[in-house]
Amino acid sequence: MAEPINTTWACPIPLRDYPSIVIGHGGGGQLGNELVEHLFKPAFANDELDRMADSAVLTLPAGRIAYSTDSFVVRPLEFPGGSIGALAVNGTVNDLAMSGATPLVLSAGFILEEGLPMATLGRIVTDMAAAAKAAGVRIVTGDTKVVERGHGDGCYINTSGIGVVRDGVQLSPTRATPGDVVIVSGTIGDHGMAIMSVREGLEFDTTIVSDCAPLNGLVDAMLAVTPDLHVLRDPTRGGLASTLNEIAGASGVGIVIREAALPVLPQVASACEILGMDPVFVANEGKLVAIVPPQHATAVLQAMRAHPLGSRAAIIGEVTSDHPGMLVAKTAIGAQRVIAMQLGEQLPRIC
Amino acid sequence: MKYLAEFRDGEIAQRLAAEIRAITTRPWAIMEVCGGQTHSILRNGIDQLLPPEIELIHGPGCPVCVTPLDMIDKALAIAAIPNVIFTSFGDMLRVPGSDRDLFRVKSEGGDVRIVYSPLDAVQIARENPTKQVVFFGIGFETTAPANAMAVHVAKREGLTNFSMLVSHVLVPPAIDAIMSAPGNRVQAFLAAGHVCSVMGFWQYPPLAAKHHVPIVITGFEPLDVLEGIRRTVQCLERNEAKVDNAYARVVTFDGNAAAQALLEEVFAVTDRAWRGIGVIPASGWRLSAAYADYDAEHRFDVGAIRTTESAECRAGEVLQGAIKPSQCEAFGTRCTPRTPLGATMVSSEGACAAYFNYGRFHTLERASSATRDSNTSPKAATVG
Amino acid sequence: MCLAVPGQIVDIFDGSGTRMATLDFGGIRKTVCLAYLPDAKIGEYAIVHVGFAISLIDEASAQETLRHFRELGILEEELGEASPEQYAEPHGEVCDPIRP
């Protein structure tokens, strides 16, 4: 009999003698049940999940429902500052928060690759449980499938989430208005460069960690200042530049930012220099961009800075009626450049 | 970062620009050779600080852009061979060959991997003894020492599963060819600072004398580029066709002796076709006879490569500075980073990509136009 | 061709018969080949391209260049020759956004 998997959910009954995932774990039979009983249920710990019905049945507070889904395919599965598990929870929590919703419940669908070490899955699920707890959400329903070895990158996770939007909040990428102030909640590029630092062929030694975090608490603090924020977005894949381009396009406005005002950790800046990458295109997983009416900007900024996830919040620019649909940056030497959307993923370069 | 941040100071940049304005009395056309300089100029907006008399002509110093089409097609053919791990710098992944690029080969099942250093490719060869590992050795003289060391180490360790597809290009013959071309408008050069950190700049005085052009060794940060331009304008205004080193903290006259010694051993000069320009004699490096066993061109018989270049692509004229990207009919319409017709729209330092990405087909105003008369600047961006 | 960044040498060692080093780039540490700088010492700065140190940075020269830059325009100012147009801002200057 194999040693019990060393997990922090302290299940008294060890999983059967399978140190890694096999096809049977996705088959809906005993192996699959064991996974649920001894791994998912103890980790996610809530009554609705424990019912093990085909659907979670919920009574939601009154109000507009926000509903979001996201799939997570990151490699490597575990990286400095987080794992695919933390991303899977925080990513959907943040999508809900960006609509001004209080996140309530999540679903979690797993596609596991035959051969994934059970200990790895254990850590991922533990991360999800911790992230859910920190965000104040429950994972109330889920599913597990297993694909053959070689067909899956170890683990893919899909989460979807439901939240309730507060009254009076109308956040939309179409609401950016000339004169609005652009605020970013903290340093940019941390997550993407943390991933780069452990990517094969590009490794480097650093203390950069992913900024993966749930932003709903920060959003609460901002909305407490005023419900009349115009846009909230979390700049994940594609970075700050992609998000601002999307907002500019959706609202039919121009956005101007000052490069000197962008908060960037020195090590992230250095890592970008070495690889020839631009921090504005690098992914973030615990940051938001806010487009705020000018009369509220100072108060919102102060509220952000008072929150642990917004201590480095900064005003980086504003919305203009010039050059609609375009993001323009004032460079460090006082000139201008257009920051266009990248075609695909930013690649390291030598030239 | 130390020795980087200080050379990006905005206030000093403004002062250097003011100096340049103060000494410029008539129009000058200056070519920056290196694609890295082109990228720095357009990304930082350095050209917006210059007086309208100064025209910067972007040179062919983008090794990604000038890698010959048949070499790209060979790379694609090799990468598609099962059991081959094809390694490359990231820059090459989206360069269009005759009908596809490395990204597409990867998506079709080819094992294509990005590496940061050529030594990483050697490591992959050590770790995969049953596979053939090929490294795409492109670049100017800056990159050649790294590529040389990789194949040198592979040979020393007897890594018979490692080989290199070499397509190096050299700067001085390109300068010579540009100055000798009919219709050339270039009056001075900013030489490539990092190429010169390897090779020194002893090759330039004969060129400067032959063509009566000032050549100023220039770095890459905004202050370095502005200082290089300032010294160049000074030479032009004084009619001095001399070689000046404006990147002295990194470049010496002789260059890096250890690197040059290994380059001598590993590479041999060859004629090289520059994509979009044509064959420039003795303008490239191939693997020397001593390293023939590690030459991927010999090891892999990829058959007759028939290349098809886009009929519409005018990259060659862009690379020689004859036209600006925004003057090409396909620019921004049929040719974009998403649908590139040529390599200059793909490479991060290709002039076409830089113009597109930094918005040079929108009308962004030039700096200090308040001090100028109403003549339209030759550098004012055209609407695409 | 030319993306090369400055880093400080913090360790030198042998890597399978090749002279290697650990360089510090503003807090990031990376292994770099030092074979082309046989006389380089710990503490010195080098320019690194694709994982290879290709030139030492002459720190005295760097400081000299920076000193020259800082003195630019000062002489003219002192002599009262500077004109406002010399320091004109580029067009399209963004007004400073609200400062907290």
pLDDT digits (tens, 9 = 90+) for C21-72: 999 999 999 999 999 999 999 999 999 999 999 999 999 999 999 999 988 8
Beta bridge partners of B273: B279
Q: Residue holding tokens 């098809």? A: B308
| B317 in contact with chain C, both atoms CB, cutoff 8 A | no
pLDDT of residue C1: 57
pLDDT digits (tens, 9 = 90+) for A39-55: 999 999 998 888 888 89
Judging contacts by C-beta atoms under 8 Å, the chain A residues touching residue B383 are none
Residue pair C29/B63 in contact (Cβ under 8 Å)? The answer is no
Question: For all residues of chain A together, what is the average pLDDT?
Answer: 92
| C41 in contact with chain A, both atoms CB, cutoff 8 A | no
Beta bridge partners of A143: A109
Q: Six-digit token pair at B337?
A: 């980073």
> What integer is the mean pLDDT of B229-236?
98
Q: Six-digit token pair at A104?
A: 């309530």
pLDDT of residue C77: 56
Q: Could you tell me which residue, B139 or A10, shows the higher pLDDT?
A: B139
> What integer is the mean pLDDT of B333-344?
87
Q: Six-digit token pair at B304?
A: 């007759």
How far is A342 from B357, CA to CA, in rounded Å? 8
Confidence of residue A34 (pLDDT cuts 50, 70, 90): confident
Neighbours of A257 (CB within 10 A): 24
| B362 in contact with chain C, both atoms CB, cutoff 8 A | no
Does pLDDT of B380 surpass 50? Answer: no
Q: Could you tell me which residue, A206 or B370, shows the higher pLDDT?
A: A206
Question: What is chain B's alpha carbon radius of gyration, rounded to the nearest angstrom?
Answer: 21
Judging contacts by C-beta atoms under 8 Å, the chain B residues touching residue A272 are none
How far is A89 from A43, CA to CA, in rounded Å? 13
Q: What percentage of chain B reaches a pLDDT higher than 90?
A: 71
Asked if C58 and B259 come within 8 Å (Cβ–Cβ), the reply is no
Asked if C30 and A258 come within 8 Å (Cβ–Cβ), the reply is no
Judging contacts by C-beta atoms under 8 Å, the chain B residues touching residue C1 are 34-36, 61-63, 139-140, 142-143, 192, 194-195, 349
pLDDT of residue C87: 36
Nearest-10 Cα torsion for B299, B127, A274, B337: 50
Sign for the pseudo-dihedral over CA of C13, C19, C20, C23: positive
pLDDT of residue C78: 56
Give how far B62 is from chain A: nearest CA, Å.
7
Does pLDDT of A214 surpass 50? Answer: yes
Beta bridge partners of C48: C5, C53
pLDDT digits (tens, 9 = 90+) for B248-280: 999 999 999 999 999 999 999 999 988 888 899
> What integer is the mean pLDDT of A317-344?
93
pLDDT of residue A347: 80
pLDDT of residue A191: 97
pLDDT of residue B306: 76
> What integer is the mean pLDDT of A329-347?
89
Q: Could you tell me which residue, A276 or C46, shows the higher pLDDT?
A: C46
Q: Considering only the beta carbons, identify the residue of B8, B90, B362 that sits closest to A348.
A: B90
Q: Which of A64-68, B124-128, B183-187 has the lowest mean pLDDT?
A: B183-187
pLDDT of residue B275: 86
> Which B residues 252-271 touch C at CB under 8 Å?
256, 258-259, 262
Beta bridge partners of B192: B218
Confidence of residue A67 (pLDDT cuts 50, 70, 90): very high
What backbone phi and psi angles, to 5 degrees, belong to B31?
Answer: -105, 130
| C79 in contact with chain A, both atoms CB, cutoff 8 A | no
Give how far C40 is from chain A: nearest CA, Å.
20
Q: Which of B159-163, B339-343, C7-11 has the lowest mean pLDDT?
A: B339-343
DSSP assignment string, B58-90: EEEE-HHHHS-HHHHHHHHHHHTSTTEEEEE-G
The candidate with the shortest Cα–Cα distance to C3, out of B41, B34, B8, is: B34
> What integer is the mean pLDDT of C64-90?
62
Beta bridge partners of C9: C23
Identify the DSSP state of A125. Answer: H
Does pLDDT of B373 surpass 50? Answer: no
Strand order in the sheet with A314-320: A231-233, A289-292, A181-184, A314-320, A254-258, A327-330, A336-338
The candidate with the shortest Cα–Cα distance to A9, out of A135, A119, A126, A118, is: A126
DSSP assignment string, A231-279: EEE---TTHHHHHHHHHHHHHT-EEEEEGGG----HHHHHHHHHHT--G
pLDDT of residue B183: 85
Q: What's the distance, Cα to Cα, between the start and end of chain C in Å? A: 43
Q: Which of A219-228, B24-33, B96-105, B154-163 has the lowest mean pLDDT?
A: B96-105
How far is B254 from A55, CA to CA, in rounded Å? 75
| C88 in contact with chain A, both atoms CB, cutoff 8 A | no
Q: Considering only the beta carbons, identify the residue of C5, C51, C85 that sits closest to B117.
A: C51
| C19 in contact with chain A, both atoms CB, cutoff 8 A | no
| C9 in contact with chain B, both atoms CB, cutoff 8 A | no
Q: Which long-range CB contacts under 8 A does B228-231 form with residues at least 24 apart?
A: B228/B190, B229/B20, B229/B30, B229/B50, B229/B54, B229/B56, B229/B190, B230/B16, B230/B19, B230/B20, B230/B23
Instruction: Name the residue of chain A whose CA is nearest to B91's CA.
Output: A349
pLDDT of residue B204: 97
How far is A320 from A307, CA to CA, in rounded Å? 29
How far is B76 from B63, CA to CA, in rounded Å? 17
Confidence of residue B91 (pLDDT cuts 50, 70, 90): confident
pLDDT of residue A81: 94
Confidence of residue B349 (pLDDT cuts 50, 70, 90): confident
Q: Name, in order, each residue with C-beta under 8 angstroms of B362's C-beta and a sequence gap of 6 or more.
A: A323, A326, A338, B381, B383, B384
Confidence of residue C74 (pLDDT cuts 50, 70, 90): low
Asked if B44 and A338 come within 8 Å (Cβ–Cβ), the reply is no
Q: Which of A27-31, A317-321, B7-11, C7-11 has the lowest mean pLDDT?
A: A27-31
> What integer is the mean pLDDT of A1-15?
47
> What integer is the mean pLDDT of A237-250?
97
Q: Name, in order, each residue with C-beta under 8 angstroms of B327's C-beta and a sequence gap of 6 or more.
A: B382
Q: Six-digit token pair at B118?
A: 């050529």
Asked if A301 and C100 come within 8 Å (Cβ–Cβ), the reply is yes
Residue pair A233/A246 in contact (Cβ under 8 Å)? The answer is yes
pLDDT digits (tens, 9 = 90+) for A126-173: 999 999 999 999 999 999 999 999 888 899 999 999 999 999 999 999
> What integer is the mean pLDDT of A282-298?
98
Asked if C2 and B48 come within 8 Å (Cβ–Cβ), the reply is no
Question: For all residues of chain B together, what is the average pLDDT?
Answer: 89
| A201 in contact with chain C, both atoms CB, cutoff 8 A | no
Instruction: Name the residue of chain B whose CA is nearest to C77's CA.
Output: B15
Neighbours of A342 (CB within 10 A): 18
Residue pair B287/B166 in contact (Cβ under 8 Å)? The answer is yes
Asked if C54 and B259 come within 8 Å (Cβ–Cβ), the reply is yes
The candidate with the shortest Cα–Cα distance to C9, out of C51, C29, C61, is: C29
pLDDT of residue A53: 86
Q: Considering only the beta carbons, identify the residue of B1, B15, B63 that sits closest to C1.
A: B63
Q: Which of A67-81, B107-121, B295-309, C23-37 has the lowest mean pLDDT?
A: B295-309
Beta bridge partners of C29: A205, C24
pLDDT of residue A177: 98
Asked if C27 and A267 come within 8 Å (Cβ–Cβ), the reply is yes
Q: Six-digit token pair at A286?
A: 């615990």
> What integer is the mean pLDDT of C80-84?
43
| B369 in contact with chain C, both atoms CB, cutoff 8 A | yes
| A199 in contact with chain C, both atoms CB, cutoff 8 A | no
ipTM of predicted complex: 0.88
Q: Are strands A231-233 and A289-292 parallel, antiparallel or unpaired?
A: antiparallel
pLDDT of residue A17: 67
Neighbours of A18 (CB within 10 A): 15
pLDDT of residue C98: 25
Q: Which of B37-46, B211-220, B270-279, C74-83 has the highest mean pLDDT?
A: B211-220
pLDDT of residue A182: 98
pLDDT digits (tens, 9 = 90+) for B282-338: 999 999 999 999 999 999 987 677 787 788 999 888 887 888 899 999 999 999 888
Beta bridge partners of A337: A329
Query: Amino acid identity of B39?
Result: H
Does pLDDT of B352 surpass 80? Answer: yes
